[in-house]
Amino acid sequence: MVQRFRQLACLAALWQFSILAFAFQMSADERVQIVPRVKSSAAAAETAPQTVVRVSSSLVLIPVHVTTVSGSPVTTLKKENFALFEDGVPQTITQFAQDDAPVSVGVLLDTSSSMKNKMPRVSAAATEFFRFANPDDEFFLIEFNGKAKLTVPFTHEWHDLAREIERAKANGLTALIDAIHLAVAQMKQARNTRKALVILSDGGDNYSRRNLRQLRSSLLESEVQVYAMGIFDFETSGRRTTEERNGPQLLTAVAMETGGREFPVRSQDDLLSTGVEIARDLRNQYILGYSPANSVSDGKYRHVNLKLELPSPGSGLHTYYRRGYFAPVQ
């Protein structure tokens, strides 16, 4: 009898296990066969990644800054005083302006170890630069040492940047070229036609993943002018690192091709006046526009050359302008 009871109990347990296993299998099959609900076309459009579109334009704009030998801005020139050439071919200037148009400015602050003793005066120089801002100017701040990071996104409140610069601490290596790449990417959100980067650095670079050739292409495509405040310790040249010694050349190479300028600060006492001078450069520019004689949309680089046509040749004036651009692609 006991043996019979045990057999029945085993059969019942086996039956229950079979039912549970079948239920589990059904549940698993249902999970596998569930088809995700397809989003509507409107919802899909909201979450789909945004495609970057390169806009073609038949008008090329060249910002130009003209100075005397001493560096003072020249603001009395007319359209007929300028001659533009693209790949050696004369171009007809159809647009000419000289006004204080708003600018989108990215400020790049070097916070590497080599800047440790320079930070207080760099902060003061940046504040002097901001004081000349147009009410419609917008700014963002990128700080960089071994890594570049966006600290303050685009804002019209330059005081936000000034406060952040004032409390910045210097340490670590220097990734200047990477910082400029990040700034160029951020500049795609700019609201103003005129765009500029202002670099506050000793120009050293010892940690960037990208190189100068890659940077050149990015800058020219972005149509951003670069102004560099080169804060160098010329008095202690024997104790400077290799990247610090190469700093002036790097900053000059980056700035000149974009139509900006590199301002070597030979003494920290000159920082305040340099901040004012960069602001003055941005506020005193001619904008020359032309429709290229070469209308082919081939994406190739076009070299731009500018000459001054003045009544008295040999006046010694200096011109700073963008040296070329990439043609649009069909």
Tens digits of residue pLDDT in 282-317: 989 999 999 999 999 999 999 999 999 998 776 789
Q: Above pLDDT 90, what percent of the chain?
A: 52
Q: Do 200 and 170 meet the contact criterion of CB atoms below 8 Å apart?
A: no
Q: What does DSSP say about strands 286-290 and 93-97: parallel, antiparallel, or unpaired?
A: antiparallel
Task: Tell me how far CA of residue 126 lies from CA of 71, 119, 221, 298, in angstroms.
Answer: 20, 10, 27, 41
Under 8 Å between Cβ of 300 and 86: no
pLDDT (0 to 100) of residue 253: 85
Predicted pLDDT of residue 11: 42
At residue 240, the pLDDT reads 65
Position 178 scores a pLDDT of 96
Give the pLDDT confidence score for residue 236 in this predicted structure.
Answer: 57
How many C-alpha atoms does 141 have within 13 Å on its Cβ side? 23
Q: Is the model more confident about 272 or about 158? A: 158
Residue tagged 């040492």 (tokens):
145
Q: Which two tokens stand for residue 309?
A: 């046509």
pLDDT of residue 235: 60
Of residues 239, 163, 167, 166, the one with CA closest to residue 202: 239
Which position has the higher pLDDT, 261 or 5?
261
**In the predicted structure, residue 84 carries a pLDDT above the cut 50:** yes
pLDDT score for 10: 44
Comparing CA positions, the residue from 179, 144, 139 lying closest to residue 159 is 139
Count of H helices and E strands in the chain? 9, 14
69 secondary structure, DSSP code: T
pLDDT of res. 221: 84
The predicted-structure confidence for 250-275, as pLDDT tens digits, reads as follows: 888 889 889 999 988 877 778 889 99
Contact 101/135 with Cβ under 8 angstroms?
A: no
In this predicted structure, what is the pLDDT of residue 231? 84
Q: What is the mean pLDDT of residues 79-84?
A: 97
Domains annotated for the chain, with CATH where assigned, are: 60-98+287-326 (no CATH), 103-284 (3.40.50.410)
Strand order in the sheet with 261-265: 148-155, 138-144, 103-110, 194-201, 225-231, 261-265
Inform me whether the pLDDT recorded for 227 exceeds 60. Answer: yes
pTM, two decimal places = 0.78
How far apart are alpha carbons 181 and 202 in whole angstroms?
18
Q: What is the DSSP letter of 250?
A: H
Give me the count of residues in the chain.
330
Name the nearest CA neighbour of 106 among 148, 153, 65, 145.
153
pLDDT the model gives residue 209: 92
Q: What pLDDT is stored for residue 203 in this prediction? A: 82
Tokens of 245: 């010694």
Residues linked to residue 320 through DSSP beta bridges, in sequence order: 65
* Residue 107 vs residue 133, higher pLDDT: 107
Residue 242 has pLDDT above 80, yes or no: no
Query: Residue 213: what pLDDT?
Result: 84
What is the gyration radius of the CA atoms in the chain, in angstroms? 30
CA 179, 184, 188, 194 torsion-angle sign: positive
Confidence of residue 99 (pLDDT cuts 50, 70, 90): confident
Distance of alpha carbon 9 from alpha carbon 22, whole angstroms: 20
Q: How far apart are CA 54 and CA 52, in angstroms?
A: 7
The per-residue pLDDT for range 34-75, each reduced to its tens digit, is: 333 333 333 333 333 332 223 345 899 999 999 998 888 999
State the DSSP string of 179-246. Answer: HHHHHHHHGGG--SSEEEEEEEE----SS-SS-HHHHHHHHHHHT-EEEEEEE--GGGGGG--HHHHT
Quick check: 183 and 106 in contact, CB under 8 A? yes
pLDDT at 241: 66
Mean per-residue pLDDT over the chain, rounded: 81
Query: Among residues 201, 47, 186, which one has the least CA distance to residue 115?
Result: 201
pLDDT tens per residue, range 118-138:
899 899 999 999 999 989 999
